[in-house]
Amino acid sequence: MTSNALPLEYKAILKWIRQGSSVLDLGCGDGELLTLLVRDRNVKAQGIEIDEQAIYQCVAKGLSVFHEDIDNGLSGYGDKNFDYVILNQSFQQVKNPDIVLKEALRVGSQVIVGFPNFAHYLARLQMFFKGKAPVTTSLPYAWHDTPNLHFLSISDFIEYCRLRKIKIVNSVFIGENRTIKIIPNLFALIGVFLVTNGEPVTRITRRN
């Protein structure tokens, strides 16, 4: 596949990740992104995925992957074990995003968070005029079969980072086939953030 055909969020993530670094992908699915990172960035890759069938696909791609629920925490990892921890499209699906992100920031020097923007203008219009739960290209599910547990907007995440003293190092906002520069909370379907702990890292004692 040529790089032109890559999803825009993958392009953004690829740009942020250093050659030869270590990456933990939380909710890695069938290993699409990790495979790309191994190929183009020669990363030391590890995935965690809850779906058994997706594990088979990861193993077929030669990836190392753990069949686990990321909500159960990352207690098996020491502090700053990875250069990057990725929460792409899985952040809004975990039970406790607060704890998962805190753990991700503990075990990774930097964390990449990608999620669908609930405040996209089409979602807003559907809510306002139809009075129905919105369905957009980044939120394609009906209310009764969605794997998403949390519905947040780009502005919500930025405010959350401020409250939790999480530093936003970089961000990319993606619309239909293009990146969004103006009023992303209205026009972007997906927000992708590169974040790190805003304050000096305090070492957390591991409990075994």
Partner 1 sequence: MSAINLVSNKIAKIKQGAHKNIEPPGRDSDSETNQGVGLVQTKYLHFALPPEEITLESCEKLGPITVAYETYGKLNDQRSNAILILHALSGDAHAAGFHKGDEKPGWWDDMIGPGRAFDTNKYFVICSNVLGGCKGTTGPSSINPNTGKKYGLDFPIASISDMVNVQKQLIDHLEIDQLLSVAGGSMGGMQALEWLTAHPERLKSAIVIATAAKHSPQQIAFHEVGRQAIMADPHWKDGHYYGGHPPAKGLAVARMIGHITYMSEISMAEKFRRRPGDEKLHKFSVGSEVEDYLYNRGNHFVKRFDANSYLYITKAIDSFDVSPGKEIYEVFKGIKAKVLILAFKSDWLYPASQSREIVKACKLAGVDTTYCEIDSTYGHDAFLLEVEEETHLVKYFLQKAFLENGVTGGYQVLQYDI
Considering CB under 8 A, how many residues would be counted as binding partner 1? 52
Q: Concatenated DSSP letters for 63-95?
A: --EEE--GGG--TTS-TT-EEEEEEES-GGGSS
Contact residue for partner 1 among 13, 17, 26, 55 (CB under 8 A)? 55
Contact residue for partner 1 among 139, 166, 172, 195 (CB under 8 A)? 139
* Nearest residue (CB) to partner 1, 177 versus 202: 177
Q: Is 82 in the site for partner 1 (CB under 8 A)?
A: no
Question: How many contiguous H segments (helices) and E segments (strands) does the chain have?
Answer: 7, 7
Provide the residue count of the chain: 208
Beta strands 44-49 and 22-26, pairing class: parallel
* Nearest residue (CB) to partner 1, 68 versus 156: 68
Stretch near partner 1 under the rule CB under 8 A, chosen from 53-61, 94-102, 163-171, 194-202: 53-61
Least gap, CB of 138 to partner 1 (angstroms): 5
Q: Concatenated DSSP letters for 33-69?
A: HHHHHHHHH--EEEEEES-HHHHHHHHHTT--EEE--
Distance separating alpha carbons of residues 9 and 174, to the nearest angstrom: 7
User: Which of 9, 16, 62 is closest to 196 using CA atoms?
Assistant: 16
Q: Is 95 in the site for partner 1 (CB under 8 A)?
A: no
* Nearest residue (CB) to partner 1, 76 versus 198: 76
Residues that bind partner 1 (CB under 8 A): 1, 6-9, 29-30, 32, 35-36, 38-39, 42-45, 51-68, 75-78, 81, 89, 116, 137-140, 147, 174, 176-177, 189-190, 208
